[in-house]
Structure 1
Amino acid sequence: MNKKLLAVACILLSILSVSKVSAAEFCADEYYIDQTMPNGTRWDMCWTHDAAQGVRYHNIHYTPKDDSRRMVLYDASVAQIHVPYDDNGARYHDVSDYGLGDENLLSLSAGDCVGGTRSYYNSKAAICRSMSKDGSAYRHNEVRQDLHMLKVFSVSRVGEYLYAAEWRFYSDGRIVPSIIATGALQRYGGASAEQHGWLIAGTSSIGLSHMHNFYWRLDFDLNGSGSNDQVQEINYSEYAGKRYRQMTSFNNEVARSVNPTTMRSWLIKDGDSTNRKGHSISYEIRMNESGQREIGPSFEPFTENDIYISKSKSCEKVASHNKRVYDCATDNLDEFVNGESIQGQDIVAWVGVSFYHMPRSEDAPYMDAHVSSYEIVPRDWHTVNPSLDYVPPINLRLSAVDDYVTASASSALDIDAMGNDTGSDITFNTLDNPDNGTATIVNNKIRYVADSGYRGTDVFWYSIKDSSGTVFGARIHVTVTDASTGGGSGNGGVSTGGGGVIDWFSLLGLSLLSSLLLLRRRHA
């Protein structure tokens, strides 16, 4: 009997250990994507169906090889496909007025997903995901490394058009969202409309020209928090043969346009986290293909800019005709962005890319696939090139960061003050005496003991130095509490990861295991 119980217990423990690794964290397993690439890079995320936006991706995490898993995007989706025609006979808003989901979301065949894996929503093959090689990550002389990508896409039909909403996640941390448009021409005109299009057949079959204004909604939560993300604009000016970089920080909601002359791009930067060089981690939005532009009439003010930065609001989901889909006081991007402060707020970047489609004979009866895309590129997310298969010597910038910890009044606390500091061969240089306790260096940590009877926050300085002798100082903030309040958090502000939630599967397993052990004792 004991041997049988022990065998069952071992099986349960095995199930528990596997469930913690393979189970999705933010969604059911069937809506979870988890891909590790040959270089060790990992992307994992969830997806969900949305009647208007088709497929949304959320809780998107990126893990470089031998590095930390960090969230990049909390939510990412197609936010509008606006199609105004040159004859002004139609101005479609495909996402809000027709929807990319429900019956308009196509079921993908095996031929649509060659070499990939299909995932299902209500028995419909809604998305395809695949991993493939995409050329070289880098090459220097004879040294090179492959670049790989995870591609996920869904296909929706609106009228005669087919739209493939595609997301590419690369092994170097880049993200490339794109929309591939194909199908058949939606509208034709007669001979009198020739100035609004192109002769396709006969003497009077005019394929009408039109613009595709594609919009994406990107809710950044860099490193898992959106409230400390910052937005900057990068521009370059030229004078006397030299080019100069200018950085502009935005504290309020803003609408901006691309500027090829200044090679403008936008930076979403984490306010707290850095790489090992001490540089703030960030992602840069590059709209290098924005060579075409359509500014609509006054009743379409959302077309007047290419990127909008807004405070995140749960009802603001699509770039135009928002009220047709959601119960919201605002209807389009021009209303979303009304000057509210974004300091300490969760922010959303709305990115617009335009494609002007002048039909040609080759577009009938079926048009070729045209692609509209942009890039979201990591900047200082890594310490070195993440595609390297070795770690080169790194000259780390000396930097010390303030530490915030909680100590119990009744015991000593060891603080890993240098755990979030950077530099080459850093060591402690000086340590001030706290006003309300004592501090000593023990095993390369700072041991703090509060004075008897003291309750409150004690603040004192320490400094570090690197191999060159350069010195950098920071403060330690110790909040001293009674023992019963559960003090003793001494990780020095460094994220320890993990979480305090146990899933139902693990709870059930532990319950069964406890019951088996109890039976074992009874039969012993």
Structure 2
Amino acid sequence: MRSIRAAAMAACLLLALLPAVAPAASALSSEAAPEAAAPCSKPYLVEREFKNGARWSLCWEMREIEGLTLTKVVYTPRGHKPVSVLRSGHLAQIHVPYDSGEPRFQDMAGGLGSSVVPLQTQDCPEGERRVQDDIPMFCVLPDQARGLAYLRPSLGEESLRASVQGKELVVFSAFEIGWYTYLVEWRFADDGSITPRVGATGSLRGSDGIVVSPKHGWPIGVGSSDFEESHSHNIFWRLDFDIQGPKDDAVEQFDFTGSGTAKRVMKTTALAKEASAKNDRTRWWRVVDKTVKNADDHPASWEINNSDSAEYRGPASEKFSQADVYVTQYRKCERLASENAEPPCKGAVNQYVNGQTITDPVVWVSVDFHHVARDEDQDPMPTHWQGFHVAPRDITAKNPH
């Protein structure tokens, strides 16, 4: 499998640059989108247009280290020009520490690409399996329902009553690591939002002859003599944002003070230099390009919300686990959040934060889940999901539906 990354990158060479953007004030205005050359060859190109007129376009490849990697991700709202969102996005580490202190797996240390699971027809129902190196390893599902996009009541006038069901494009690959199968999934909605998430299934580790203390596990099987050890799944993602190209992108953090009071105050912090941040109840971030604006003259941005994470904190020897979000300046060799083995870059994401000014931001998001096993996890284990949300903020001037 060592040829995976080279083969995929060669197949997905850029054939043409994205079309030049219009002047800032009209870059996202409601104009017909010009035809552009495909950003990658057909087997690696995914395009989807929804009934509401919105479009997504992206390329995929299976890399030796990062596994499933999406590149050149572009969103086109109905009646608007395309706006590029991500240069690339992929997993950056699967950190699995057990509650007793050992073992402490870092599942991507040897590369994720060699663990890819060949997908069968039933794994990708009614979808399209895409092939690389003669292996069906990427699934593109048909439009998936995501619930009500909106429901507007009549307010006394029945003509105002309206509702729309939302749809989303879902793509995924699967990887077998130890006892687990990890489903790496991306969901692209017709409202412009993105949900990257990982599903863990497969089998429980079992005691392997090791006596697990009741303090560190849960009884599995008959009686209370065999305990499955609790553990965490700490999933790191790496998102290289490019809002209409790498220039002029910046990252801001938003906090809201006033818990327990009648008033709340918004505080905005510009992350002009590389930084790490921890989740807070009302904290979120955005990547903004202040030269690209919507019809209301508001800067275009993408909001990042990581409120579903269990927020794992490891020991001093795992400093990369001491924050939930990192913002770094783009460097090609900074590929993994830990066990990064490509010099001259450092070995972990906390070491990437060294005071550089941010001109081309990369956002690293850790989504953590504490798995306390239950009888229902036997066997095979039901999939448990963990992910975060990326939403358009001021990409359009009104509801895109």
Larger mean CA deviation between 130-139 and 173-182 belongs to 130-139
TM-score using structure 1 length? 0.66
CA distance in 2 between partners of 1:192 and 1:50 (Å): 37
Read off the aligned partner of 1:297 and give its amino acid letter: P
Partner of 1:454: none
SS at match of 2:291: strand
Question: Per-residue displacement from partner, 1:40-91 (whole Å, max 9, x unpaired)?
Answer: 1100010111112211000000001110111000000011100001122211
Indicate if the aligned counterparts of 2:212 and 2:228 stay in contact, CA closer than 8 A. Answer: no
Select the residue among 122, 132, 135 that pairs with 2:147: 135
Match of 2:253 in 1: 233
**Displacement of 1:136:** 1.6
Q: How much is the aligned-residue C-alpha RMSD, in angstroms?
A: 1.6
The one-letter code matched in structure 1 to 2:136 is: A
Work out whether 1:215 is the aligned partner of 2:229: no
The structure 2 residue matched to 1:111, chosen from 122, 127, 132, is 122
| Partner Cα distance (1:241, 1:306) in 2 | 29
1:374 is displaced (CA, Å) by: 0.7
Counterpart AA for 2:88: D
Q: Would you identify which runs of 4 or more consecutive aligned residues in structure 1 move more than 3 Å?
A: 20-23, 189-192
Q: 1:296 to 1:64 in 2, by over 3 A?
A: same
Verify: 1:64 aligned to 2:77, yes or no: yes
Distance 2:44 2:344 in 1: 28
- Residue 184 of structure 2 contacts residue 197 of structure 2 at CA under 8 Å; is this kept in 1? yes
- Counterpart CA distance in 1 for 2:344 and 2:118 is 31
Instruction: State the distance in 2 between where 1:115 and 1:234 align.
Output: 41
Query: Are 2:137 and 1:121 equivalent residues in the alignment?
Result: no
For 2:400, give the aligned amino acid.
P
Match of 1:463 in 2: none
Q: Higher helix fraction: Structure 1 or Structure 2?
A: 1
**Aligned residue for 2:201?**
182
Mapping of residues 450-489 of structure 1, within 5 Å: none
Q: Which amino acid aligns with 1:335?
A: Q
1:318 aligns with 2:329: no
Corresponding residue SS for 1:125 = strand
**Residue 365 of structure 1: CA displacement?**
2.7
* CA offsets 1:130-159 (integer angstroms, 9 cap, x no match): 222322211101211221100000000001
Distance (Å, rounded) in 1 between the aligned partners of 2:246 and 2:206: 43
Partners of 2:387 and 2:63 in 1: how far apart? 22
Distance 1:178 1:296 in 2: 22
Q: Which residue number corresponds to residue 41 of structure 2?
A: 28
Query: In the alignment, what sits opposite 1:340?
Result: 356
Alignment gaps of 5+ in structure 1: 1-19, 388-524
- Aligned-partner Cα distance in 2 for 1:379–1:158: 37
The residue correspondences of 1:251-262 to structure 2 (distance < 5 A) are 251-260=272-281
CA positional deviation for 1:282: 0.1
Partner of 2:375: 361
* Equivalent residue in structure 2 for 1:351, among 365, 379, 382: 365
Once residues 236 and 74 of structure 2 are traced to their aligned partners in structure 1, the CA distance between those partners, rounded to angstroms, is 22
Residue of 269, 278, 285 corresponding to 1:248 = 269
Aligned position for 1:274: 293
Given that residues 316 and 328 in structure 1 are in contact (C-alpha distance below 8 angstroms), is that contact kept between their aligned partners in structure 2? no
Among candidates 217, 234, 239, match of residue 197 of structure 1 = 217
**1:379-400 CA distance string (max 9 Å, x none):** 001111001xxxxxxxxxxxxx
Q: Does 1:382 align with 2:393?
A: no
Letter paired with 1:228 = D
By how many angstroms is 1:198 displaced? 1.0
1:5-32 Cα deviation digits (max 9, x unpaired): xxxxxxxxxxxxxxx969622x221110
Deviations 1:481-520 (A, max 9, x none): xxxxxxxxxxxxxxxxxxxxxxxxxxxxxxxxxxxxxxxx
Q: Give yes or no for contact 1:100–1:157 (8 Å, CA) kept in 2.
A: no
**Deviation (angstroms), 1:271:** 2.6
Query: What SS does structure 1 have at the residue aligned with 2:215?
Result: helix
Amino acid at match of 1:254: A
1:47 aligns with 2:60: yes
**Other-structure match for 2:325:** 307
What corresponds to 2:387 in structure 1?
Answer: 373
For residue 187 of structure 1, report the CA deviation from its aligned partner.
Answer: 4.2
Secondary structure at 1:299 match in 2: helix
Identity %: 34
- Asked which structure has the greater RCO (Cα within 8 Å, sep 6+), the reply is 2
Q: Which residue of 2 aligns with 1:78?
A: 91
Q: State the alpha-carbon separation in 1 of the partners of residues 393 and 36 from structure 2.
A: 30
- Given that 2:212 and 2:229 are in contact with CA atoms closer than 8 Å, whether structure 1 keeps it comes out as no
Amino acid aligned to 1:295: R
Change (3 A) 1:88 1:315: same
Please give the alpha-carbon distance, in whole angstroms, between the structure 2 residues aligned to 1:236 and 1:23. Answer: 44
Larger radius of gyration: 1
**Does structure 2 retain, via aligned residues, the 8 Å contact 1:322–1:328?**
no
